Structure 1
Amino acid sequence: MSYNSVPIDTSHLPYCFTRFPVRIHKDKEEIQRFALKLIHATKKEDSKAHKHALYRYAFGPDMNIYSLSWCEADLDKMKLLIDFTELTWAHDDVAEEEPFENAVTESGRLCRAMYEEYDDEPVGDNGYGLRIKRFRDIRNRIKAIDAVGWVEVRDATEEWLHIDTKLKDFENLEEYLNIRKIHVGNKVMTSFIRWTMGIHLSEAELAFIEPYTDCIGVWLGLMKDHMSWKRERTQPTDRIVNSVHVIMNSYNLPEEAAVDMLRGILVRQEGKVLEMSTDLHSKPGLSTSMQMYIQNLQYYAGGLFYWHLLAPRYTKPQSFGSERAD
């Protein structure tokens, strides 16, 4: 039974809308206020990063990505999650614009900020240095609340921060998706489902549920690639990370055909996730925590689909150059 969220009516959306349930946190207005306050406090006004961050929240509390993705989170923990995630997104946005070698180096530095033994390591007063200092503070606050949950968040984040070293021109979609399920941040986000809800699973339970969370990670990578292709296809970068690109190269297909093929793969992957969920729920002997986690994985997936489908960031691809943001 859900206590922190309410359902969203999706009956007005197109027939192709996801079959995952969609809910939103009952404290969506407070979550929206906190996210905007954090952005204004940590990003230079009218900078590219500031405009990008504000644009994520252009539709107001009913489209807040945190309220949708972590709809059952404890509110105080949600605020720490937002602080942590906005910081890693800021790092990721900057890293995408850096030469590959620089991005990998700075990812390593950010990883070390999650370990106390590196706290004496000097950092500069530039953007990366300030993010490292903030990371250390956020680490301490998360760990103080739930040290066991923090280790899971830390390990997932470290794997994510290092995943860029495995990016390349992939020869086939299967090889690409095996990396993309990590690159899309699924393990970090699902570890935060557990942390914000106080869900503690044993090592055996985590191993048991891993094929299901991996299946969702593949679906998330496909979904995000499909939604973001219009935005990413024209961005200057030396690293194209998108299923459409892989399909075009693998099958020598034109762009339109590759997009259609990706859409079909995405629908089939969603069906696989739903089948696995039904099968898991039917298994006897699942702990209450496991049952809550399985259900909230669907809320998380549904919320992310809903946001990507309607957010202006993807429905109307934007350009945030030095002169304008339209």
Structure 2
Amino acid sequence: MAPFPVYPVDTAGVSSYFSSFPVRSCEFNALPTIQKALDETIYSCTTPGSRERKKAVYRHSNPAGNIFGLSLALCEADRIGYVVKLIEFLCIVDDAMEDLPFEEACIEHSILRQALHESYDDDRYGGQAVDLMKNFLRELRKELVSLGDLSTSLLLKTLDTSLRDRDSDDSEFTTLAEYIPYRKTNFDYDFVCQLLCWAMNIPLAVQNDPLARAYEHIIGVIVGLSNDYFSWEMERQQTTDRVRNAVPVLMK
């Protein structure tokens, strides 16, 4: 299916949110699909009044326009809902896991990953923090598998790997060279890149082109370090047994 129609965005009223490059969005036509996917994800994966739900709602109060409408203009219309669900799901997972002690977070990730394997479909144990998310992911996996194409199967395998590795290292990094590969893994970068390519129906041969991979790596480093910079003031005040930010690495 072709992408939703896109329209130029007038950025004059919120110029601080944008660069000088032209901006286009599919929000006008895609918003019902996006909002439905967001509502299903947020209300399936979080409980009323929880910190995770409050953060999810706040995440989409951007005055400059819907972030998915701005980001997914080239994605095929029938895949945008899946992209929204998977990215919002990972944001909620991150919110739920970040305050857990390292060992507990590893266990909860392992329990969550069971939702990606049919052999665990009768296992209803939801751990301490991921019960709702596990149920949501299980049903989403079944829906994606029913699409019956190879690229979707590969996408689910990459998601499984990402959930396995995203919070699997409690090392104290001393250099950016050590930290950056972990940082990209920690925000599911390889999976998100593959997800967007899948949604745009980009062939695997193009995705694996060395030039494309090099470009993806550079963008991943920029995104990861930018996020660290802007979130450091908040993160430095959090009580945690593992600091995952480039700022303290650079301060050593």
TM over 0.5: yes
C-alpha distance after superposition, 1:174-228 (max 9, x if no partner): 21112212222221211111222222223x7515222221121111111211222
What displacement does 1:81 show?
2.2
Distance in 1, matches of 2:68 and 2:25, equals 9
**Secondary structure of 2:203 counterpart:** coil
**Secondary structure of 2:208 counterpart:** helix
Q: Among 175, 195, 205, which residue is 1:192 paired with?
A: 195
What displacement does 1:104 show?
0.5
**Secondary structure of 2:166 counterpart:** helix
Matched, 1:55 2:52: no
C-alpha distance after superposition, 1:131-178 (max 9, x if no partner): 222211101112222532223322332332223112421111121112
Q: Which has the higher contact order (CA 8 A, sep 6+)?
A: 1
Distance in 1, matches of 2:183 and 2:218, equals 11
| CA pair 23-186 structure 1, distance change in 2 beyond 3 A | farther
Provide runs of 4+ in structure 1 moved above 6 Å.
Answer: none
Which structure 2 residues correspond to residues 99-138 of structure 1 after superposition, within 5 A? 99-124=101-126, 127-138=129-140
**Residue type at the aligned position of 1:67:** G
Residue 161 of structure 2 is matched in structure 1 by 159
Partners of 1:114 and 1:139 within 8 A in 2: yes
User: TM-score by structure 2 length?
Assistant: 0.83
Which structure 2 residues correspond to residues 23-42 of structure 1 after superposition, within 5 A? 23-26=24-27, 27-31=29-33, 33-35=35-37, 37-38=39-40, 39-40=42-43, 42=45
Distance in 2, matches of 1:247 and 1:138, equals 40
Matched pairs, number:
246
Distance in 1, matches of 2:227 and 2:34, equals 22
Residue 147 of structure 1 is matched in structure 2 by 149
Matched, 1:6 2:7: yes
Distance in 2, matches of 1:171 and 1:153, equals 33
Partners of 1:31 and 1:67 within 8 A in 2: no
| CA pair 185-237 structure 1, distance change in 2 beyond 3 A | same
Distance in 2, matches of 1:94 and 1:170, equals 23
- Unaligned runs of at least 5 residues, structure 1: 250-326
Distance in 2, matches of 1:3 and 1:120, equals 38
C-alpha distance after superposition, 1:245-266 (max 9, x if no partner): 21112xxxxxxxxxxxxxxxxx
| CA pair 210-25 structure 1, distance change in 2 beyond 3 A | same
User: TM-score by structure 1 length?
Assistant: 0.66
Partners of 2:52 and 2:92 within 8 A in 1: yes
Distance in 2, matches of 1:79 and 1:57, equals 15
Partners of 2:25 and 2:73 within 8 A in 1: yes
Partners of 1:8 and 1:22 within 8 A in 2: yes
| CA pair 242-127 structure 1, distance change in 2 beyond 3 A | closer
Residue 89 of structure 1 is matched in structure 2 by 91
Matched, 1:178 2:181: yes
- Identity, % of aligned positions: 29
What displacement does 1:30 show?
1.8
